[in-house]
Chain A
Amino acid sequence: GQNIDQPTEMTATEGAIVQINCTYQTSGFNGLFWYQQHAGEAPTFLSYNVLDGLEEKGRFSSFLSRSKGYSYLLLKELQMKDSASYLCAPYSGAGSYQLTFGKGTKLSVIP
């Protein structure tokens, strides 16, 4: 089975840094995706971590610890447009290409 845990909501100030955590327990693990979803829109791909460590991509970075079943998404220099839900999705690597998504963390960026 799959168990994915991330905070439901977070609030942060424009220009600040915020870290969104995700813990997971999955049967099989290949890597972990992070998606961003603005209200009423489709989720969009942010990152995919396979190896342990931090991967930086502009203002967004993603960290993975396979042994701890833990990942986080780090957002720097927050902008108002970063207000969205952030979805953690471990990928088991099974043949049917299924992703299982967490409930998502709704981030509100305030002035």
Chain B
Amino acid sequence: ETGVTQTPRHLVMGMTNKKSLKCEQHLGHNAMYWYKQSAKKPLELMFVYSLEERVENNSVPSRFSPECPNSSHLFLHLHTLQPEDSALYLCASSQDPAGGYGYTFGSGTRLTVV
């Protein structure tokens, strides 16, 4: 148990489907993140929420839509994805990393788009 819980662990979806990834943390952190991890590539930051406000959107296609209803929950809504979107999607939470605590990551959702 890492303190950050992601569901589902694995997801296979067609290009016309709509699905959502869920992330939950009860660590009292005030920032939450979505990262994408593809093979042979570094972790790519997708979205940052600080105190439930989106503070960063790193040129992510609109087929990915984040939602942060409260400080403990973060969603990533998916629709009309492409096969190249297949990757490991990681959620993380943190307080100010300058405090030395870094991020706490969830176990990720392995997404396959067929």
* Structural contact, A91 and B106, CB atoms closer than 8 A: no
Query: Cβ of B4: which chain A residues have Cβ within 8 Å of it?
Result: 42
Number of A-B contacts (CB under 8 A): 71
Residue on A nearest B58 in the bound complex, by CB: A98
Known: A42-B2, A91-B97. Is A99-B108 also a contact (CB below 8 A)? Answer: no
Q: Is A50 an interface residue (CB 8 A)?
A: yes
Contacting pair B56 A101 (CB below 8 A): no
Q: Tell me if B43 is interfacial: C-beta within 8 Å of chain A.
A: yes
Identify which of B2, B95, B103, B107 contacts A99 (C-beta below 8 A).
B103
Partner of A33, one of B31, B55, B95, B97: B97
| Residues on A with beta carbons closer than 8 Å to the beta carbon of B105 | 42-44
A64 CB to nearest B CB, Å:
13
Closest Cβ neighbor of A91 among chain B residues: B97
For the complex of A and B, 7 pairs with smallest distance between CB atoms: A42-B105, A101-B43, A103-B42, A45-B102, A48-B100, A96-B55, A97-B31
CB within 8 Å of B: which residues of A? 4, 30-31, 33, 35, 40-45, 48, 50, 87, 89, 91, 93, 95-104
Q: Give 6 new A-B contacts, CB below 8 A, not counting A95-B50, A96-B55, A103-B42.
A: A40-B88, A43-B90, A45-B103, A48-B101, A87-B43, A104-B42
